[in-house]
Amino acid sequence: MRNNKLIHRVFWIILLALIWQIIFWSGRFSPLVFPSLLDIGGTLIDSLLNGELTQQLLFSLSIIFQGLVISLVLAVFLSLAAHFSEIAASLADTLVAIAHPLPGIALMPLVLIWFGVGRQAIIFIIIHSVLWPLVLNLRTGFSSIPEIYNLVGKNYALSRMQRMIQIMAPASLPYLLVGLKIGWARAWRALISAEMLFGAVSSSGGLGWYIFQKRVFFDLPGVFSGIIVIVIIGILVEDFIFDKIEERTIKKWGMKS
Amino acid sequence: MKDHLQIKNIYQRYEQGQLVLENIDFSIVKNEFVAILGPSGCGKTTLLKIVAGFLVADQGAVYVNGEKVIGTNPDRIMVFQDFSQLFPWKTVLDNVIFALQAKNIGKTFAERKRLARYYLEKVELSDAFNYYPHQLSGGMKQRVALARTLAADPEIMLMDEPFGSLDNQTRSTLQNLLLDIWQEARKTVLFVTHDVTEAVVLADRIVVMTKNPGRVKEIIHNKLARPRNRMNPQFVRLTEIISEY
Amino acid sequence: MRKLISLLLAITIFSGILSGCGANRKKNTITIADQYGLAYAPIQIMKDKNTLENQTDGIRIEWKKLANTAAIREAMLAGEVDIGFMAIPPFLIGKDKGMPWKIISGLSMSPLGLMTYKEDIQTLADISDDDRIALPQPGSIQHILLAMAAEREFGDAGRFDDQLVTMAHPDGMNALLTRKEITAHFTSPPYVFKESRDEGIHQILSGQEALGGEFSFIVGVCTEDFYQSHPEIYSVFVQALDQSIGFINNNPDLAAGILTGYYDLSQEEIKQYITWPGMVYSDKVRGLDEFIIFMQRANYIDSENMELTQLLWEVDLYEK
């Protein structure tokens, strides 16, 4: 089943690449518009090997990881508070209602004024992208925990802390994972856009900056190699990391429908 | 014999004010098996939740060994009808170990593991240690719940129609299993059911309740010798008498 | 197999459709793109006086203002823009990558300046590693000039590359005036004039110092496609541009009056700016050699093939 999916995917990618190359060979388009796959591949390998792209990739990944961790901690605290206190719940709901529909990019001008260009600004945008879907999903997750788990927990004299760790955390994991997936997808897009817009300090501006730089130097194969890396990371995270986590947890536990 | 569990003048109302339980008052001696029998809506589950400490009665109180019950206590463990009472993220073995950890039974993890295996063998589940609950049938899940309860070694077992959702054959198998365990482990059991046969098979005494409001109509001593044969004429007669109420 | 064949067929048709877009053909609309800044003043005059429209019957002229050079370059590549205005380095980078275009004419020379508010920064050597320099984008004329100066003084063209912050001119000016985020800003008129009016802000480096001579700041560029398929519009455009440049130089008062419609500045200010020493409107193309030699040496461009005939449609506009 899984292998099948992989084979299909590889098949389509090869086919699309082939079409691309045929169009290139047809010579109908200037290579400035439609570069050869060989050029793109060469640029990709070169800039991965000479560290130019690798460094930007690591920068982007480290920044998104920081953003995710901070958001996760904030979201857990906010959702727990909302779960146990009605005041916190109405605050959390209001915050989510205001902030969730707001695209991170729309906040960019404000963020520039508050944080300037650079790391903090991008982390802020990432947190904004991740936090609200996480809170939303955790809130749903907490409130859809079957009451019986709590009764069992109380019956066996677990403290509130123990119930949170031993029952609420695993019981809401499916929702947490959904929230993280949405959050990751939003954060990854926001990150690249922010990096392209900010044009942060050029030695470490991330993947978005790499693409922007290639663009201003009119290096289309370079632009494509940046895009390919973005796609590969996206697929790796969504298809492999999240799938693996699900396989080892909620799928194994029969908690994913 | 001294009363182990006393239920004294319990009154309970719904939020809308309707009376659910009216003056429930009876006692259970140590190691006695008592069934509460009644139609759905007679408040028997509510009564059990009050005894467990999940609910506080509007009036009256529950006493264990003469002490008033306040809140839950792992000496009174409830077994639910709901198959989902097991934690789906824990294996069968870990679900039982959970009870041992909660009651701090066993010093090392290895010892707990050994104990958990022992209780699972008691409920005849030695093949299923490493399964997750979603891989089990309903009957197997209730066996695990029973093993988990036994592992916690409570003084009183509160059973809320634990076999109510099972098919007939599985139900009687589990009834027999429960009786074996009860006779060996000697626990006080308060068992809620709406099934007359089940009450007659299991209980020393049967508390018959009626609904609107929930009241104790009769308390019947079941003197039939164990093991009880469901085909026995005396058994059948007792069942018929109780069904009259 | 049948599926595969139909797929290939679809691809062929699809690429046929796509190729239709890029074909060489006569157009009814000519699009001219420039950017914001006083260096582009002759374009605004030409537009305002309808000089071009009056001489090209049946052809619609569309004027576009794009945010940066990269956008103009991409639009020209896509055939969306026929004539674009930009600085020499972005033109050379495009040429180097195979962009089929040449310079039509010079437009203006202009004072450019690297401005800072920090008292203790008087020369490039005073800029520390923590200081950040705002400029429009890597590969822009400001970036190349800074690299030229860095190479001359420190032997390292990339010395400041890790300290650059990409900001559009207005954002950079705001950041500099509020003394936030950046310590220096490499910019052009009117921003360079506005910044120099702020008490604490001074210039560390001028464009001329960086290059070591005079150079055209903005040039007009068109693609081979346009040059060959619309020769009559091309020559009308060159004439119109010439008239506009002449108009500004001969009637700065009138020109300033017209330009008030395009800039948020008073007529007096505009007049002051367009007659500022070093602000010269001219169709001559200067500084080409210096840029080419430096950009080849510093690896911004690879191509050795940068002969004048490859770079200009009319070689006689070139001035050493």
Measure the CA–CA gap between A255 and A224, rounded to whole angstroms: 40
Coil/strand/helix, residue B92: helix
B9 pLDDT above the threshold of 90: yes
Tens-digit pLDDT profile for residues B86-132: 999 999 999 999 999 999 999 899 999 999 999 999 999 999 999 99
B151 pLDDT above the threshold of 60: yes
Half-sphere exposure at residue A5, Cβ-oriented, CA atoms within 13 angstroms: 6
Nearest-neighbour CA in chain A from C248: distance (Å) = 32
Give residue B188's pLDDT: 96
Tens-digit pLDDT profile for residues B52-81: 999 999 999 999 999 999 999 999 999 999
Chains C and B touch (3+ CB pairs under 8 A): no
A173 touching B (Cβ < 8 Å): yes
A156 with B78: Cβ contact below 8 A: no
**Nearest partner of A239 among A187, A161, A184, A169, judged by Cα:** A184
Measure the CA–CA gap between B133 and C175, rounded to whole angstroms: 61
Nearest-neighbour CA in chain C from A115: distance (Å) = 9
A-proximal residues of C, 15-44, CB under 8 Å: 15, 18-19, 22
Which residue would you say has higher pLDDT here, A132 or A2? Answer: A132
Residues of A within 8 A of B99 (CB-CB) are: 156
Please give the single-letter amino acid code of residue C178: T
Residues of A within 8 A of B84 (CB-CB) are: 146, 148
ipTM: 0.92
Closest partner CB to A216 (pick from C98, C137, C165): C137
CB pairs < 8 Å spanning A and C: 80
Give residue C181's pLDDT: 78
Which residue would you say has higher pLDDT here, B33 or C79? Answer: B33
Q: Contact B75/B69 with Cβ under 8 angstroms? A: no
User: A229: which 2 tokens?
Assistant: 């890396």
Give residue B178's pLDDT: 95
Nearest-neighbour CA in chain A from B197: distance (Å) = 28
C-proximal residues of A, 113-132, CB under 8 Å: 116-117
- What pTM, to 2 d.p., does this model score? 0.80
Average pLDDT over residues C17-31: 60
Model confidence at C11, in pLDDT bands (50, 70, 90)?
A: low
For A240-246, the CB contacts below 8 A with 24+ separation are A242/A177, A242/A180, A242/A181, A242/A184, A245/A177, A246/A177
Mean pLDDT for chain A? 89
C78 touching A (Cβ < 8 Å): yes
Query: Which of A21, A202, A209 best probes binding to C when mutated, by most C CB atoms within 10 angstroms?
Result: A202
Measure the CA–CA gap between C236 and C73, rounded to whole angstroms: 23
A202 pLDDT above the threshold of 60: no
B134 touching A (Cβ < 8 Å): yes
Measure the CA–CA gap between C240 and C220, rounded to whole angstroms: 13
C83 pLDDT above the threshold of 70: yes
C15 with A198: Cβ contact below 8 A: no
Give residue C7's pLDDT: 62
**Nearest partner of B4 among B53, B54, B62, B56, judged by Cα:** B62
Residues of B within 8 A of A172 (CB-CB) are: none
Please give the single-letter amino acid code of residue C217: F
Give residue B81's pLDDT: 93
Closest partner CB to A202 (pick from C74, C78, C138): C138
Measure the CA–CA gap between A20 and B12, rounded to whole angstroms: 76
B26: left (phi over 0), alpha (psi -120 to 50) or beta: beta
Residue keyed to tokens 């429908």: A257
**Nearest partner of A98 among A44, A63, A135, A53, judged by Cα:** A135
C167 touching A (Cβ < 8 Å): yes
Nearest-neighbour CA in chain A from C8: distance (Å) = 8
C272 pLDDT above the threshold of 80: yes
Nearest-neighbour CA in chain A from C263: distance (Å) = 23
Give residue B36's pLDDT: 96
Measure the CA–CA gap between B191 and B202, rounded to whole angstroms: 9
Model confidence at C53, in pLDDT bands (50, 70, 90)?
A: confident
C97 with A218: Cβ contact below 8 A: yes
List, in sequence order, every residue forming a beta bridge with B156; answer none if it has no partner. Answer: B76, B188
Measure the CA–CA gap between B139 and B121, rounded to whole angstroms: 15
A143 pLDDT above the threshold of 80: yes
Average pLDDT over residues A14-41: 88
φ, ψ of residue C298 to 5 degrees: the values are: -90, 10
B54 with A154: Cβ contact below 8 A: yes
φ, ψ of residue B104 to 5 degrees: the values are: 60, 40
Residues of B within 8 A of A149 (CB-CB) are: 87
B134 with A254: Cβ contact below 8 A: yes
**Nearest partner of C271 among C284, C259, C288, C285, judged by Cα:** C259
Model confidence at B212, in pLDDT bands (50, 70, 90)?
A: confident
Closest partner CB to C138 (pick from A19, A23, A216): A216
C-alpha dist (Å) from residue C99 to B110, C73, C74, C90: 74, 9, 10, 11
Nearest-neighbour CA in chain A from C300: distance (Å) = 8
Nearest-neighbour CA in chain A from B99: distance (Å) = 7
C-alpha dist (Å) from residue A45 to A49, A235, C299: 6, 19, 20
Searching chain C, which residue's CA lies closest to the CA of residue A27? C19
C14 pLDDT above the threshold of 80: no
Strands, E assignment, C48-178: 60-65, 83-86, 101-109, 113-116, 133-135, 164-166
User: A152: which 2 tokens?
Assistant: 């069992």
B-proximal residues of A, 210-249, CB under 8 Å: 249
Residues of C within 8 A of A28 (CB-CB) are: 15, 18-19, 22
A51: left (phi over 0), alpha (psi -120 to 50) or beta: left
Measure the CA–CA gap between B186 and B32, rounded to whole angstroms: 8
Buried b (16+ CB within 10 A) or exposed e, C124-161: beebeeeebbbbbbbbbbbbbbbbbbbbeeeeebebbb
Nearest-neighbour CA in chain B from A201: distance (Å) = 46
Q: Contact A122/A63 with Cβ under 8 angstroms? A: yes
Which residue would you say has higher pLDDT here, A67 or C265? Answer: A67
Residue keyed to tokens 């939020």: B15
In this complex, which chains have at least 3 CB pairs below 8 Å with chain A?
B, C
User: C40: which 2 tokens?
Assistant: 């582009």
A216 with C162: Cβ contact below 8 A: no
A148 with B84: Cβ contact below 8 A: yes
Mean pLDDT for chain C? 87
Give residue A104's pLDDT: 81
Nearest-neighbour CA in chain B from A153: distance (Å) = 9
Model confidence at C170, in pLDDT bands (50, 70, 90)?
A: confident
Query: Which value, in Å, is the radius of gyration of the alpha carbons in chain A?
Result: 22
Question: Which is it for strands C113-116 and C184-187: parallel, antiparallel or unpaired?
Answer: antiparallel
Cα C236 to the center of its chain, rounded Å: 22
Element (H, E) at A181: helix A173-198
Which residue would you say has higher pLDDT here, A257 or C74? Answer: C74
Neighbours of B75 (CB within 10 A): 14
User: Cα angle vertex C275, ends C270, C278, to 5°?
Assistant: 125
Closest partner CB to A155 (pick from B52, B82, B132): B52
Give residue B111's pLDDT: 95
Question: What angle in degrees, to the nearest 10, is found between the helix axes of A206-216 and A220-235?
Answer: 160
Measure the CA–CA gap between C258 and C181, rounded to whole angstroms: 36
Coil/strand/helix, residue B124: coil
Please give the single-letter amino acid code of residue C167: M
Tens-digit pLDDT profile for residues C55-64: 877 788 899 9
**Nearest partner of B76 among B90, B95, B55, judged by Cα:** B55
Give residue A240's pLDDT: 86
Searching chain B, which residue's CA lies closest to the CA of residue A172? B89
What domains sit in chain C, N to C, each tagged with a CATH number? 2-110+215-319 (3.40.190.10), 113-211 (3.40.190.10)
Searching chain B, which residue's CA lies closest to the CA of residue A147? B85
Please give the single-letter amino acid code of residue B242: I
C168 touching A (Cβ < 8 Å): no
List, in sequence order, every residue forming a beta bridge with B191; answer none if it has no partner. Answer: B35, B159
Mean pLDDT for chain B? 93
Average pLDDT over residues A128-143: 94
C-alpha dist (Å) from residue A126 to A70, A76, A189: 10, 16, 9
User: Cα angle vertex A24, ends A19, A26, to 5°?
Assistant: 95
Burial class (CB in 10 A: 0-12, 13-18, 19+), A43: buried
Model confidence at B17, in pLDDT bands (50, 70, 90)?
A: confident
C4 pLDDT above the threshold of 70: no
In this complex, which chains have at least 3 CB pairs below 8 Å with chain C?
A
Average pLDDT over residues C223-235: 90
Return the DSSP state at A166: I
φ, ψ of residue C120 to 5 degrees: the values are: -80, 0
Please give the single-letter amino acid code of residue C195: E
Give residue C24's pLDDT: 46
